[in-house]
Amino acid sequence: MRVHELDIAGLKLENNVFLAPMAGYTNYPFRKMCRSLGAGLAFNEMVSAKALAFGSEESKRLLYTGGEESPKAMQLFGSVPVLMRAACESEELSKFDLIDINMGCPMPKIVRNGEGNALMEKPKLAEEIISECAKSGKRIAVKFRVGVKEGDRRAAEFAKLCEGAGACMITVHGRTRDKIYAGPVDYGQIEEAKAAVKIPVIANGGVWNDKDFRKMLDRTGADGVMIARAALYRPQVFAEITEREELSFAELFPVQLKETQELYGEHFACVFMRKMAAFYLKGRRGAAEWKRKLFAASSCEEVEKYAAEIFGNTEGTPVKTEK
């Protein structure tokens, strides 16, 4: 059975299909929607340990989670062990059941600061960070890549390092840093990481539909899958994989817009939901013209009006499920 319940150090999850943390996207209304469609766990956007130490209000905003959202998971990034542990022990993170340490982000501004995927090149520091965070008493997970550049084979070794330092789960993105989010997924290295440890291993990369999900688990033996970009284009991917009702965008969009506006205000909701509507338009006839109209919209009311016209029209090419 590919979709199944999962236990992470005593944390009982309904299923093994997760929404990845994505900066700028996985806010509460979006996570709530993905959970309603079947995601067994949904991560907050990544937050800087250093920013938390300085009392950043923006970071605190990113940590918002609704009372009914359970279990709660977030992603933390940083390169200073003492600050990472302090963040894990902070009041702001006390509500989270699982804290994931980002050691996979390939973005230059993160890597240049010695954070994200740069930590795979400093295994001793990475080990110290995980160990210090684990001392907080929180469940600690780690997300990393199979390597830094093409030809690297670091996944199994780094998986063992994470487990030895106290991680209770790892997520392996099957691409090297230089590939960013493109190119084939290295199923072999994810399989090697799975074989190297006893803790749950979640596979990430290239899963756009149920066929990809089944292929990922069959090829790697992973305990679950984490979905990122596919959820931005079609959050119904969770319903497809978990065999739930696939609600239409005509049903989903107004709710997401309303909840985003209520939580973050008119301006943020207008800008954010224009962007989300553009994702949801992928594969539809006349998408370019609709995007032009959407990005000219100056209010949530206008965005909602255009969305109703777009998603209320069932004719034309449906949203694609694959790249």
In a domain, 298, yes or no: yes
Q: Which domain holds residue 173?
A: 6-242
Q: What DSSP element (H or E) covers 245? A: none
Region 167-193 average pLDDT:
94
CATH number, domain at 174?
3.20.20.70
pLDDT of residue 187: 97
Indicate whether 181 and 288 sit together in one domain. no
Whether residue 191 is predicted with pLDDT greater than 50 in this model: the reply is yes
**Phi and psi at residue 135, to the nearest 5°:** -65, -15
Whether residue 322 is predicted with pLDDT greater than 80 in this model: the reply is no
pLDDT of residue 321: 38
pLDDT of residue 298: 94
Instruction: Give how many domains the chain has, as a whole number.
Output: 2
Note the pLDDT tens digit of each residue in 259-313. 999 999 999 999 999 999 999 998 888 899 999 999 999 999 999 999 999 998 6
Region 217-232 average pLDDT:
97
> How wide is the angle at C-alpha 312 spanned by C-alphas 310 and 315, nearest 5°?
80
Note the pLDDT tens digit of each residue in 48-87. 999 999 999 999 999 999 888 999 999 999 999 999 999 9
User: What is the C-alpha separation between 307 and 284, in angstroms, rounded?
Assistant: 13
Residues with a known catalytic role: 105
pLDDT of residue 319: 39
The answer to whether the Cα torsion of 225, 228, 233, 239 is positive or negative is positive
Question: What stretches of the chain show up as alpha helix (H) in DSSP?
Answer: 28-36, 49-53, 57-62, 81-88, 108-112, 123-134, 155-165, 187-196, 210-220, 229-233, 237-242, 249-264, 266-280, 287-296, 300-311
pTM for the model: 0.93
